C-alpha cells in the first residue's frame, strides 16, 4: 500500500510541475508589447497592397507590398494586437483583408525585426476598420 501512495504523490507532483511549466512559459514568451515594439515611435500613414491575411490566434497578421522611397517593393508583415475574438466584436472577419486591397496603416515598428510593425490604425480601401476598443475614427 505504501508503494502506491508514494507513486501517487510522485505522479501528482510531476503532473503539477509539467502543468505549471507548460502553461507559464508560452504566456511569458508571448506577451510584452513594450519588449517587442517601439511604442513611442508611431509611423505613418503608409500605403501597402495586401498580399495575405491570417485571421488566426494568437494575433492576426497580414502581409503587404510597400514601396520604398526609391520605388522598390518591400514585403512587410503587420500584426494586430487584439485576438480574432476581440476583432470580431469590432466587425472583423476572415475576409476583412483580401489580396490586392489598398491598406493605409499607421504602426509601431518592431525593435529588432526589419519590415515588421504592429498596426495601430488601418484603412482598407479607404474605409476605417477599428482595431483597438478605444480607437476613434
The domain locations on the chain are: 2-30, 39-128
Q: How many residues does the chain have?
A: 137
The three cell numbers of residue 69 are: 522611397
* Residue 38, pLDDT score: 87
- pLDDT given at position 114: 93
Looking at residue 36, what is its pLDDT? Answer: 85
Q: Are strands 127-128 and 73-79 parallel, antiparallel or unpaired?
A: unpaired
CA-based max dimension of the chain: 78
State residue 48's pLDDT score: 97
Backbone phi, psi, residue 112, to 5°: -125, -25
Per-residue model confidence (pLDDT) at position 8 = 44
No. of helices (H) and no. of strands (E), the chain = 3, 6
What are the per-10-residue average pLDDT scores of the chain (137 residues)? 48 43 43 75 95 96 95 96 94 97 96 94 96 79
CATH number for domain 39-128, candidates 2.40.50.140, 3.20.20.10, 3.40.50.720, 3.10.129.10: 2.40.50.140
Amino acid at each position: 500500500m505504501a508503494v502506491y501512495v508514494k507513486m501517487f504523490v510522485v505522479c501528482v507532483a510531476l503532473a503539477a510541475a509539467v502543468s505549471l511549466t507548460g502553461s507559464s512559459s508560452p504566456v511569458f514568451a508571448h506577451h510584452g508589447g513594450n519588449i517587442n515594439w517601439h511604442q513611442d515611435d508611431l509611423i505613418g500613414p503608409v500605403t501597402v497592397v495586401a498580399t495575405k491575411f491570417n485571421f488566426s490566434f494568437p494575433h492576426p497578421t497580414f502581409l503587404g507590398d510597400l514601396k520604398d522611397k526609391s520605388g522598390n517593393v518591400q514585403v512587410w508583415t503587420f500584426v494586430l494586437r487584439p485576438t480574432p475574438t476581440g476583432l470580431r466584436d469590432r466587425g472583423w472577419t476572415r475576409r476583412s483583408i483580401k489580396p490586392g486591397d489598398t491598406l493605409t496603416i499607421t504602426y509601431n515598428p518592431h525593435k529588432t525585426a526589419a519590415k515588421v510593425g504592429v498596426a495601430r490604425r488601418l484603412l482598407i480601401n479607404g474605409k476605417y476598420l477599428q482595431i483597438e476598443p478605444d480607437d476613434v475614427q
